[in-house]
């Protein structure tokens, strides 16, 4: 009788370990899928985004001053409240590219967050780069925001919108917020915020950035 019960216990134990194994395999597969997802979007976005923004075009030829009425002023300066323009790739609407050199990351950013979108790429949680209150949420896939916790204060972050305007930031604060801290996440005078889940999924690694003047 004891032997039979022992066999049941061993079998159950093996099943649990098998479940852990399959979950690990699934997670690794999902991580790889997520990496491929952002990789192809980055390639297409880079091809779409103009290399030089309007402002850079103007300043690039200092020897030939552009007449005042022929200067191209970026639209977001003329109207900071404008919606961030999007570029659609495979049915997903992207607002730009996020680069974090310290984490060796170059990621596309989707215009609106949803759980299906978060599986594709980091998403705008709310705000606008033009109003200096952009908040970006990302899955903690290794290829998405999984390395955020390694990001130290003083590291550089850039965001390039689909018009080619580049916004430069410096990491000012790294903090851990509870999953219910919605108000805290949205408050504070931060120009850019990035967040993702901690490994246990209970809290959020939150990176606060200030825009370089």
Partner 1 sequence: MKMRKRLAAVLLSVWMLLMLMPSVSAAGSIDLEHDVSLTVSYRDGKTPLTGVQFDIYYVAEVDAYGNFTPTDPFAQFHVNITGKNDAAWKALASTLEGYVLRDGVTPTDSGKTGVYGTVSFPTGKKSLRAGLYLVLGQRHVQDGRIYEAAPFMVMLPALDAKENAWVYDVTAVPKYDSDPIPTEPVTVTRKVLKVWEDDGHKNERPKRIVVQLLRDGKVWDTVTLTAANNWRYTWTGLDSGHRWTVVEKELDGYTVEVTREGITYVITNTYTEEDEPEPIVPDKPSPDTPDIPTGPPSEPDYPAKPESKPSGPKLPQTGQLWWPVPALTAAGLLLIIWGLLRRRGAGNEK
Site for partner 1 in 41-80 (CB under 8 A): 64-65, 67-73, 75, 78-79
Specify the residue, 83 or 153, whose C-beta has the smaller distance to partner 1.
83
Residue 15: CB minimum distance to partner 1, A:
7
Residue 41 or 110 with smaller CB distance to partner 1: 110
Query: Which residue, 43 or 180, has its beta carbon nearer to partner 1?
Result: 180
Taking CB under 8 A as the criterion, the residue among 166, 198, 210, 211 binding partner 1 is 198
In the complex, least distance from residue 21 CB atom to partner 1, rounded to whole angstroms: 8
Per CB under 8 A, 17 contacts partner 1: yes
Q: How far is the CB of 113 from partner 1 (least distance, A)?
A: 6
The distance of closest approach from Cβ of residue 129 to partner 1 in the complex, given in angstroms and rounded to an integer, is 10
106-165 binders of partner 1 (CB under 8 A) = 111-115, 118, 124-128, 130-131, 133, 137-141, 145
Contact 191, 169 (CB under 8 A): yes
- By CB atoms closer than 10 A (0-12, 13-18, 19+), residue 36 is exposed
Produce one character per residue of 149-167: b if its CB has 16 or more CB atoms within 10 Å, e if not: eebeeebebbbbbbbbbbb
Residue nearer to partner 1 on the CB measure, 69 or 90: 69
Query: Of the candidates 130, 172, 169, which has an alpha carbon nearest to the alpha carbon of residue 153?
Result: 172
Considering only 107, 165, 204, 209, the residue that binds partner 1 (CB under 8 A) is 204
The token pair at 47 is: 């091809």
Q: Give the span between the Cα atoms of 76 and 134, in whole angstroms.
A: 14
| Ranges within 76-105 binding partner 1 (CB under 8 A) | 78-79, 81-83, 85
Interaction mask 163-192, partner 1, x per CB under 8 A:
--------------x-xxxx--x-------
Nearer to partner 1, 41 or 204 (CB): 204
Contacts of 40 (CB under 8 A, 6+ apart): none
With CA atoms as reference, report the closest residue to 103 among 43, 149, 167. 149
Nearer Cβ to partner 1 (158/203): 203
The backbone region for 164, taken as left when phi is positive above 0, alpha when psi lies in -120 to 50, beta otherwise, is left
d(CA 148, CA 111): 20
């Amino acid at each position: 009788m004891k032997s039979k019960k022992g066999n049941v216990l061993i079998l159950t134990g093996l099943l649990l370990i098998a479940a852990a194994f399959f979950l690990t395999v699934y997670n690794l597969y999902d991580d790889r899928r997520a990496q491929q997802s952002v990789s192809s979007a980055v390639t297409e976005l880079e091809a779409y985004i103009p290399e030089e923004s309007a402002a850079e075009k103007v300043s690039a030829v200092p020897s030939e001053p552009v007449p005042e009425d022929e200067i191209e002023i970026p639209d977001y300066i003329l109207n900071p409240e404008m919606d961030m323009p999007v570029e659609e790739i495979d049915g997903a609407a992207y607002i730009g590219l996020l680069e974090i050199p310290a984490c060796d990351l170059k990621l596309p950013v989707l215009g609106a967050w949803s759980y299906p979108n978060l599986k594709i790429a980091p998403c705008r949680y709310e705000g606008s780069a033009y109003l200096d209150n952009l908040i970006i949420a990302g899955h903690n896939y290794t290829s998405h925001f999984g390395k955020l916790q390694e990001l130290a204060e003083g590291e550089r972050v850039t965001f390039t919108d689909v018009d080619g305007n580049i916004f430069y930031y410096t990491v000012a604060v790294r903090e851990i917020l509870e999953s219910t801290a919605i108000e805290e996440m949205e408050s504070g005078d931060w120009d850019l915020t990035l967040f993702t889940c901690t490994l246990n999924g209970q809290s959020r690694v939150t990176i606060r950035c200030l825009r370089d003047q």
